[in-house]
Structure formats: structure tokens, C-alpha cells
């Protein structure tokens, strides 16, 4: 997947959507030097063109910059992420807050936010794929409630998916 993304990005290096995805893949693999290479390009382009895009990625960028010893920049990205969380009105707010608290080492608060997220509906499949892979979430895995909460999130997604699938089948759309 990573190589396909890089190949696509090289076709058009102005594609910041692909660029941040490439960086994110490296981040999830905890290859922070490579993640930094792509995130730095993304950050520079975002700043150069005054773009307010992908603010939800700022926490990942913060981690990567912190791993590179760039504490001041890392703090700025985390502060930006915190502001994003405060303003977020989406169903993902509690998931974002969980990540924020995990970053701060507030694992109990992070678990509480995951519990809130587990009550949401209509979230996208990517949340199931990536939530447990996020290096920031790793410390939460040792919490006694973590597995049950994650299972509730998965079960809720598939329950809603199955209902939608039957509805679409009944309407002849599948």
C-alpha cells in the first residue's frame, strides 16, 4: 500500500491528500524518520499556501516531530490539535479526545472518551482499521476495559452495516 501511495504522489507532488496519507502509513509503522520526511513536506506546503486542512493529523505530526527532538514544533502541533478537538462537532470528537488524552498520558480519560465514542452511529470503516494500530493508543491496550470497548465499537459498526445492507437489498440497490 505504501509503495502505491508513494507512486501516486510522485505523479503529482501537489497532492497533499496523498502526501499526508504516505506520512501516516510510515507513522503507523512507527518509522518516524520516514514519516517526518513526508510530514515535513506536508507541513511546509500547508503553511506556504495557508491551508487549513487535515487538522486531525496534527497529533500524529506532533508525535513525529517529538520523536525527531523538535519539541517546540511538536508542542505547536499538539496545541493546534487540542484546538481542533475543542471545535469538533462531528461524531468523531470523542475518538479525537481519546487520542488527545492518550498523548497526555491521561489513560483513564482516554478510556472514558472511547466509551462515549462506542455509543456513536454511522462512523466510517477506517476507524475500525486504524484505531488499534495507532501508536498513541498502545498504552491504552493494557487498560482492563480497552478490549471490551473496542469490541463494542466493532459490533456497533457491523450491526449498523448489516441493517443498511438489508435495507439496500430490499430496495434492489444491492
DSSP per residue, 22-60: HHHHHHHTT-HHHHHHHHHHHHHHHHHTT----GGGHHH
The gap between the terminal CA atoms of the chain, to the nearest Å, is 28
110-130 tens-digit pLDDT: 999 999 999 999 899 989 889
The C-alpha cell at 32 is 518516524
CA–CA gap between residue 104 and residue 98 (Å, rounded)? 10
What's the pLDDT band for 138 if we cut at 50, 70, 90? very high
Rg (CA), the chain: 18
Confidence of residue 1 (pLDDT cuts 50, 70, 90): confident
For 95-121, what is the mean pLDDT?
A: 97
Residue 87: partners with Cβ closer than 8 Å, 6 or more residues away: none
Q: State the pLDDT confidence band at 33, using cuts at 50, 70 and 90.
A: very high
Per-residue confidence band for 48, with pLDDT thresholds at 50, 70 and 90? very high
Return the residue matching grid coordinates 506536508: 42
**3-state secondary structure at position 20:** helix
Task: Summarize the confidence of residues 154-163 as an average pLDDT.
Answer: 93
Amino acid at each position: 500500500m505504501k509503495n502505491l501511495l508513494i507512486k501516486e504522489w510522485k505523479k503529482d507532488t501537489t497532492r497533499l491528500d496523498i502526501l499526508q496519507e504516505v506520512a501516516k502509513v510510515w507513522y503507523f509503522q512507527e518509522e518516524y524518520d520516514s514519516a517526518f520526511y513526508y510530514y515535513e513536506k506536508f507541513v511546509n506546503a500547508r503553511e506556504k499556501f495557508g491551508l487549513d486542512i487535515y487538522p486531525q493529523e496534527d497529533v500524529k505530526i506532533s508525535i513525529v516531530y517529538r520523536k525527531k527532538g523538535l519539541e517546540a514544533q511538536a508542542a505547536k502541533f499538539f496545541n493546534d490539535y487540542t484546538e481542533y478537538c475543542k471545535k469538533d462537532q462531528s461524531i468523531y470528537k470523542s475518538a479525537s479526545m481519546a487520542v488527545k488524552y492518550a498523548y497526555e498520558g491521561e489513560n483513564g480519560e482516554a478510556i472514558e472518551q472511547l466509551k462515549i465514542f462506542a455509543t456513536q452511529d454511522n462512523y466510517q470503516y477506517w476507524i475500525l482499521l486504524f484505531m488499534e494500530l495507532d501508536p498513541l493508543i498502545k498504552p491504552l491496550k493494557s487498560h482492563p476495559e480497552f478490549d471490551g470497548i473496542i469490541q463494542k465499537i466493532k459490533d456497533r459498526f457491523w450491526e449498523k452495516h448489516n441493517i443498511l445492507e438489508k435495507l439496500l437489498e430490499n430496495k434492489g440497490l444491492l
